[in-house]
Amino acid sequence: MFNTRPAIKIVATILVKDEEDIIAANIEHHIKQGVSQFIVTDNNSSDQSRSIAEKYPEVVEIIDEPGNDHNQTQWVTRMAQMACKLNPDWIIHLDTDEFWGGLMSLREARGKVAGCERMYLHPPTSSGEMNHYLDFDQIPIPQECKIAHRPDPNFVITHGNHGIENCDNVEFTQKVYRHHYPIRSYEQWVRKAKGHEALSRRKSICTRWEKWYNLLQEGMLEKEYQKLTSLWGEMIKSPQHDKFLDILDFWATPEMITFFKNNPELPRIGEWRMRCQEVKFS
């Protein structure tokens, strides 16, 4: 007799706004990773994001959210409460630009909340093919945590899907990881930079989005994009610390930037190609 590992049911939520270039690849990837059902909130997309998502039978609910203040905590918490009714073993909250792996290892977790810090950052390229990534696993710095959790209708998901309000009992796992594609083209970066306006409406702030918005207002964002893609192309061929610092500035927190300015360490550069389909962000 063969010993079979117990199956687990994973439900995912996705908050979408003008993500037609990546939403199909995201859903298909996570189906292959074991996600059986998705709940999607479409926040006033002006492109084909909603119509793409609704083609998948695994997307069991699409919420049309007209709000203009990017109230992610409220919207994702609402989806989490709906996901509880589907009786999953685990709920994960996806950003459209993040592709999670190792999800079946959640069967080994014993707590109610799993913290997932491993992240591989894919900077943009001039060709649009984003197979190379920065790997910070061996660097002694904290990375941004995302969470998976057991169904609990009382959980409130914090902004950015980084945690659960008033919950300190988090079991961290190194077996769950994610590939992150925050900037995929100049046009998409413009849309993301404008997201700062939505945060401002509810007196919130994201230092990255504010920096990007200011560059856009100053007419400097396109020049920054060209510089970023050029440096990353050079970095892939010949890693250098000064190039790395300039690349990191587009995304990293001030704490991470300070660390690397004071330390000569470089993250590993790896290569990963999406299995679900060949995707070119252009």
- What is the secondary structure of 23-69 as a DSSP string? HHHHHHHHHHTTEEEEEEEE-S-SSSHHHHHTT-TTEEEEEE---SS
Contact 178, 116 (CB under 8 A): yes
Q: What are the tens digits of pLDDT across the range 139-187?
A: 988 888 999 999 999 999 999 999 999 998 899 999 999 999 999 999 9
pLDDT for the residue 2: 46
Beta bridge partners of 86: none
Q: What are the tens digits of pLDDT across the range 75-100?
A: 999 999 999 999 999 999 999 999 99
Q: Which residues of 68-84 are buried (b: 16+ CB within 10 A; e: fewer)?
A: eebbbbebbbbbbbbbb
Task: State the first-to-last Cα distance of the chain, in angstroms, to the nearest integer.
Answer: 51
3-class SS of residue 280: coil
Enter the CATH code of domain 9-282: 3.90.550
Domain ranges of the chain: 9-282
Residues of the chain below pLDDT 70: 1-6, 275-282
